[in-house]
């Protein structure tokens, strides 16, 4: 009997499954913790626990596309923002995580937030009424933080529309006395400069691309612990780490996709480990001008 010591104990039961089920397991979302992500989670936790005051601090989380911003904020909501019913039988939603509208639009922002309350509303209502609903529901559900994902989408639109949306967020922050958190690409910082007041309200936390260093090797070791292969791959060793870094370009999402594809190949071929040849076989996953062209 193999002990599968290279796999985290919580996932060793997966090794008893069929090849098909192990491959399906690879496609399930799974949190891989690392130092930078934990630092951002700690910042968010600190914001959530801030004493209520009129001018609450806000945060903008930025990074390259597909580099883990959404994963981090969803992880935070999972850990600290689960909805529940309190002892008075009132619904409580500590954290509202909404996606920014496709372009800068005040009504679109309110509608995106209202969707998270599962409450009826009329999209044809004026912005003032939709704002009232947002404020009323946020108070009723004791919301303590508002997170807006895809924050960079607010750059799409006229300067007037951008200012309207940012003023709406400022009003919600003031009216509810809660922190507002945005998550988006590096371009999202430009949204803050529509007005110096907005820039002064937001701190910026960056999720950088990975450098080829010991921290990246620890990330690979963490990934390997959740990859259900029968043989250890030793992804953290210098040669494989350098190759994985070169193909993924240090992008967390690209790395995850690459490792999943390599693991699927290792199961299908019966190799049961990821080696240099397997990684090189999947080098077509290297982004070219931001696009991956599928190859046979």
Give yes or no: residues 135 and 268 share one domain.
no
Q: Which domain holds residue 57?
A: 35-207
| Domain of residue 132, CATH code | 3.40.50.300
Give yes or no: residues 59 and 95 share one domain.
yes
Select from 266, 290, 276, 288 the least CA-distant residue to 26: 266
In a domain? residue 63: yes
Q: How far apart are CA 40 and CA 178, in angstroms?
A: 18
Confidence at residue 121, expressed as pLDDT on a 0 to 100 scale: 93
Q: Please compute the mean of the pLDDT values over residues 86-111 and round it to a whole number.
A: 94
Which band of pLDDT confidence, cut at 50, 70 and 90, is reported for residue 114? very high
**Which ranges of the chain would DSSP assign to H, the alpha helix?**
19-26, 35-48, 69-80, 106-115, 127-140, 159-176, 188-192, 196-201, 214-224, 238-248, 252-269, 276-281
In a domain? residue 21: yes
**14-23, 186-195, 266-275: the lowest-pLDDT one:** 186-195
Q: Please compute the mean of the pLDDT values over residues 12-31 and round it to a whole number.
A: 92
Q: What angle do CA 102, 31, 12 make, to 5 degrees?
A: 145
Give yes or no: residues 128 and 93 share one domain.
yes
Last residue of a domain, one of 164, 184, 207: 207
Number of domains making up the chain: 2
Mean pLDDT of the chain: 92
Strand partners, 145: 95
Give yes or no: residues 24 and 144 share one domain.
no
Give yes or no: residues 65 and 171 share one domain.
yes
Give yes or no: residues 18 and 44 share one domain.
no
Which band of pLDDT confidence, cut at 50, 70 and 90, is reported for residue 287? low
Q: For 119-148, how does the pLDDT look when each residue is reduced to its tens digit (9 = 90+)?
A: 899 999 999 999 999 999 999 999 999 999
Which band of pLDDT confidence, cut at 50, 70 and 90, is reported for residue 293? low
Q: For 186-203, how does the pLDDT look when each residue is reduced to its tens digit (9 = 90+)?
A: 999 988 887 777 788 899
Last residue of a domain, one of 144, 173, 207: 207
Give yes or no: residues 201 and 115 share one domain.
yes
Q: How far apart are CA 150 and CA 165, in angstroms?
A: 14
Last residue of a domain, one of 207, 227, 260: 207
In a domain? residue 292: no
In a domain? residue 1: no
Give yes or no: residues 53 and 173 share one domain.
yes
Q: How far apart are CA 111 and CA 121, in angstroms?
A: 8
Q: What is the DSSP letter of 235?
A: T
Confidence at residue 296, expressed as pLDDT on a 0 to 100 scale: 41
238 in Cβ contact with 274 (< 8 Å): no
Give yes or no: residues 26 and 41 share one domain.
no
Confidence at residue 196, expressed as pLDDT on a 0 to 100 scale: 77
**27-31, 83-87, 125-129: the lowest-pLDDT one:** 27-31
Q: For 205-247, how does the pLDDT look when each residue is reduced to its tens digit (9 = 90+)?
A: 999 999 999 999 999 999 999 999 999 999 999 999 999 999 9
Residue that the structure tokens 């507002």 belong to: 180
Give yes or no: residues 98 and 178 share one domain.
yes
Q: How far apart are CA 181 and CA 97, in angstroms?
A: 9
Q: Please compute the mean of the pLDDT values over residues 155-177 and round it to a whole number.
A: 93
Give yes or no: residues 165 and 51 share one domain.
yes
Assign 198 to helix, strand or coil. Answer: helix
Select from 152, 129, 21, 141 the least CA-distant residue to 85: 141
In a domain? residue 4: no
140 in Cβ contact with 90 (< 8 Å): yes
Judge if pTM exceeds 0.85. Answer: yes
Confidence at residue 150, expressed as pLDDT on a 0 to 100 scale: 95
In a domain? residue 294: no
In a domain? residue 2: no
Give yes or no: residues 197 and 229 share one domain.
no
For helices 238-248 and 252-269, give the axis angle rounded to 10 degrees: 120
189: left (phi over 0), alpha (psi -120 to 50) or beta: alpha
In a domain? residue 138: yes
Would you say the C-alpha torsion 282, 283, 287, 293 has a positive or negative sign?
negative
Confidence at residue 191, expressed as pLDDT on a 0 to 100 scale: 85
Confidence at residue 290, expressed as pLDDT on a 0 to 100 scale: 53
């Amino acid at each position: 009997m193999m002990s599968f010591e290279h796999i985290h104990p919580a996932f060793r039961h997966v090794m008893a499954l069929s090849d098909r089920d192990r491959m399906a397991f690879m496609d399930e979302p799974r949190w891989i913790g690392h130092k930078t992500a934990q630092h951002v989670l700690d910042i968010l936790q600190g914001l959530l626990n801030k004493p209520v005051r009129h001018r609450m601090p806000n945060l903008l989380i930025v990074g390259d596309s597909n580099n883990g911003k959404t994963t981090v904020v969803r992880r935070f909501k999972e850990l600290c923002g689960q909805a529940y019913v309190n002892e008075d039988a009132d619904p409580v939603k500590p954290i509202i995580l909404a996606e920014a509208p496709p372009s800068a639009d005040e009504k679109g922002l309110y509608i995106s937030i209202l969707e998270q309350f599962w409450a009826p509303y009329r999209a044809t209502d004026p912005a003032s009424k939709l704002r009232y609903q947002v404020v009323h529901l946020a108070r009723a559900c004791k919301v303590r933080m508002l997170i807006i994902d895809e924050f960079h989408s607010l750059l799409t639109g006229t300067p007037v529309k951008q200012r309207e949306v940012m003023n709406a967020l400022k009003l919600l922050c003031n009216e509810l006395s809660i922190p507002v958190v945005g998550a988006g690409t590096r371009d999202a910082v430009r949204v803050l400069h529509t007005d110096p007041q907005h820039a002064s309200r937001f701190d910026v936390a960056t999720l950088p691309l990975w450098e080829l260093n010991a921290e990246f090797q620890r990330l690979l070791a963490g990934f390997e612990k959740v990859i259900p292969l029968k043989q250890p791959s030793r992804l953290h060793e210098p040669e494989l780490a350098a190759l994985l870094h070169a193909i993924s370009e240090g992008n967390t999402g690209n790395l995850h996709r690459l490792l999943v594809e390599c693991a699927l190949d290792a199961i299908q071929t019966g190799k049961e480990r990821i080696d240099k040849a397997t990684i090189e076989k999947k080098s077509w996953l290297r982004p070219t001008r931001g696009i991956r062209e599928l190859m046979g």
